[in-house]
Structure 1
């Protein structure tokens, strides 16, 4: 049971956990990751992050990433929520939740999903600094290197 959502609204982590665990007696592991907006990047302050996406394409890409994870690990449930719009420092950006009978599969699948999401998902990020300057954020080499370990 996969749930993929791209939305402007914030999400409630407890609610997402409850949905992963609800009527799920098969899985002994529930792993969750929440990504948040940092107040700095590349040694500069960040006061706002604007996330844009291509509707339809983003959801399809996230679904494809979830399917790839499911092919590699015995995952029962996957939930991916990615926010778009204007976000401030410490706002939640992304939620990834996985469940499996055993923790290793749930941890690895969640990490795999995040590594692919950081490099392959069609989201465009623009940071605004305290001075009002803005810049587009590109995938970093460290994120590309992280993804390569799954190949």
Structure 2
């Protein structure tokens, strides 16, 4: 008797496909709008988050192994290059990650997947940073 192999599911399938990705994106931007401590990250985005949400949904769909909607609509993501006009330092990165961590906690029931995805988001957030670490303030009269 031969054991049947279980199909390997993509993260897109494991997360729940479009339905859960849309919930994740919607919750992510709700949090960014609601949390005062994410002001620096929020101000990088336009007042109306609809297009940002649609682009993130399209990107995450492909990034997680589902339909490559972002590539079909906009070409290669080139995320860092597309974000260079915006000042993304440690604060903006950490605020973006806070929203993503909370949105994952609210929408992704598979704890192992949630943990693995957040680890990938941490790497992505660091990759997007284009401003250095904050420099310590100089003491008055110091050189």
Q: Which structure shows the bigger proportion of residues in strand conformation?
A: 1
Is TM-score (shorter-chain normalized) higher than 0.5?
no
Q: Identify the structure with the greater helix proportion.
A: 2
Higher radius of gyration, 1 or 2:
2
Short-chain TM bin: 0.3 to 0.5
TM value normalised by structure 2: 0.36
Using the size of structure 1 for normalisation, the TM-score is: 0.34
